[in-house]
Amino acid sequence: MKKLFRFFRSMRFGIILLCLIAVFSIVGTAIPQGREIAWYAQTYRGAHGTILRLGLNDVFGSWYFQLLLILLCLNLTLCSLLRIRAVSAAKAGEREALLRMPQSFRLDNAQRTAVRDNLRAMHCREETDGEHPVFRKNGFGRYGSFLTHLSILLTLIFGAMALYLPKTVDRSCLPGEAVLMEDGTEIAVERFRIENDEGRLDFTSELTVRLPDGRESGLREIKVNHPLSFGPWKVYQQTYGTAGSVTVQNLETKLEDTFTLTDLVFLSSDGVNGLWYEAVYPDLIRDPSGNVTLITNTSGSYPNPVYQVQTASDGVYTPILAFPGEELQVGNLKFRFEKPVEYPGLRIKYTPGFVNALLCASFLLMTAGFAVTFFCQPVLVRLDPDGCAVGGPKPEGMRIRIQEWAEENKEKETKA
C-alpha cells in the first residue's frame, strides 16, 4: 500500500499522466470533434470504426481523458500536501544545521557590527539563541515549491472547468436577423459573404453582440479560426448555407412581401393555389437531348442559381425550374425569384465569467510560485563573537555580500 501511495505522489507518475494527456490532446486536435457519425464514415473510410469505438470523436468528453485529469489532480494534491509538510521540517532542520555549521568568515568586532547592521537594514528576521544571533532572510522562499504545485493543480482544475462548464449551441441566422439566447443576449448577423470581391472563398460574417446589461460589441468580423469574444460569449464561423428568396405580390391588393426560404414551404393566399418552394441549386447541366441535371454540390457562392418549384393551380401541380429575375403568376399572386441569400451557421459558446477570472488567478499564482522558488531562496546567518556562518539552499549570494561588507568596513578603518 505504501509503495502504491509513493507511486501516486511520485514525479514519474505525474510525468506519465502529462504525456498521456498531451497525446490525447493532440489526437483531439487532429481529429475534428463532435461531428455526426456519417461524417466520420465518409472522411475516415476504413478507420471510422476504430475512431468511434475508442471515442476519438469526443476525446475531451471521454471517460479515459477525464480519468487522466482526476489522477493528475490526485498526484498534484499529494505532492502539494507533502511540500507543505516538508516546509516545517526544513525550517527546524536548517536552524539546527546552521548552529552546527563551521564559520564561513572570521570577523573582528567592527566587521561583525557592520554585518549585523546591514542584515537589520535588509529587514532580516533576527532570533537570539544564547550568544549566537541568527538572522533569516527570504523565509517565505520555502513555500515556493508548494505554491508552484498548488498553482498547477488549480490551473488544471480551472482549465477543466473552462473545458466542461461552457455551453455550446449551433445556430443558423439570416443576414438582418438575430439569434436570441436564453439570458437575453442578442447576436445579430448584419452581413455575410462566402467569397470576397476577388472571387476567393472568404466565409466572413459581420456580427453585433448585445448583452442584457446594455453593453454592445459594435460591428465585428468573424472568420474561420477567428472567432468573436465578447463578455462570456464566443462566436465561431462554423458553416454556411444558401437560402432561396421569393417576392410575392398580391395583384388585387398590390401588397407584396419577400420571403427567405430554407425549407420546403407552400406560398398561397387561399391554401389551394400557389407555389411550392422545394430548393435552390448552384447550377444545372443540359445534355444535347435537352435533359436537365441539377448540380447539388458546390463550394463557394452559387454561380448560376436554379430554383426548383411547383405551381399548384386548381389541383394541378406543374414542376418548374426558374432563375433569378423570372416571374410566375398563379391566380392572383405573382412570384418573382430573387438572388439567393447566403447565411452563416454559427457555433455559439458561453463560458461563465468567473472561470476565466479563476484561470487568470491561477496563472498569477504560478508566476509568483516560480518567482519565489528561483529568486527568494531562504538564507540564514549565524553571528559568532569572532565570525559568522551562512546556511541555506543557496547561500553563495549572502556570503558575497558579507564579504563585501567586511571589506568596506576594513577600508573605512584604514582610511580613518
Q: How far apart are CA 346 and CA 209, in angstroms?
A: 13
The fraction of the chain above a pLDDT of 90, given in percent, is 34
Residues 251 and 334 in one domain: yes
Residues 356 and 233 in one domain: yes
pLDDT of residue 99: 72
88 inside domain: no
Q: Is 70 exceeded by the pLDDT of residue 130? A: no
State the pLDDT confidence band at 249, using cuts at 50, 70 and 90. Answer: very high
Residues 228 and 350 in one domain: yes
- Cα separations (Å) of 213 from 50, 80, 183, 233, 333? 47, 41, 10, 14, 45
Smallest CA-to-CA distance from 185 within 350, 371, 12 is with: 350
Cell numbers 418573382 label which residue? 336
Q: Give the count of domains, the chain.
A: 3
- Cα separations (Å) of 250 from 279, 327, 330, 336? 23, 13, 10, 12
- Average pLDDT estimate for 207-213: 94
Question: How many other CB atoms are found less than 10 A from the CB of residue 34?
Answer: 12
Residues 388 and 410 in one domain: yes
Residue 290 phi/psi, 5-degree rounding, is 95, 0
Name the DSSP class of 303. Answer: S
Residues 307 and 259 in one domain: yes
Residues 175 and 214 in one domain: yes
pLDDT of residue 309: 95
Residues 334 and 254 in one domain: yes
86 inside domain: no
19 inside domain: no
Tens digit of each residue's pLDDT (9 = 90 or more) over 257-314 = 999 999 999 999 888 899 999 999 999 888 888 788 888 877 788 989 999 999 999 8
228 inside domain: yes
Q: What is the CATH number of the domain that holds 404?
A: 3.30.310.10
Residues 351 and 403 in one domain: no
- Cα separations (Å) of 112 from 39, 135, 147, 384? 79, 13, 36, 8
Residues 232 and 349 in one domain: yes
pLDDT of residue 377: 84
Strand partners, 260: 245
Q: Is 70 exceeded by the pLDDT of residue 243? A: yes
- Average pLDDT estimate for 160-179: 89
Residues 210 and 355 in one domain: yes
Name the DSSP class of 142. Answer: G
pLDDT of residue 159: 86
Tens digit of each residue's pLDDT (9 = 90 or more) over 320-348 = 999 999 999 998 999 999 999 999 999 99
321 inside domain: yes
179 inside domain: yes
Residues 170 and 228 in one domain: yes
Give the angle subtended at the CA of 265 by the CAs of 261 and 270, to the nearest 5°.
125
Amino acid identity at 153 = L
Q: Helix 11-30 and helix 63-100: axis angle, to 10°?
A: 150
Q: Is 90 exceeded by the pLDDT of residue 72? A: no
What range defines the domain where residue 288 resides?
Answer: 246-340
Q: Is 70 exceeded by the pLDDT of residue 46? A: yes
Q: How far apart are CA 198 and CA 246, in angstroms?
A: 28
Q: Helix 144-164 and helix 63-100: axis angle, to 10°?
A: 170
Domain end (from 340, 356, 389): 340
Residues 305 and 230 in one domain: no
Tens digit of each residue's pLDDT (9 = 90 or more) over 86-111 = 666 666 667 677 777 888 888 888 88
315 inside domain: yes
Grid cell locating 83: 511540500
pLDDT of residue 86: 65
pLDDT of residue 413: 75
69, 11 Cβ separation under 8 angstroms: no
Question: How many other CB atoms are found less than 10 A from the CB of residue 161?
Answer: 17
69 inside domain: no
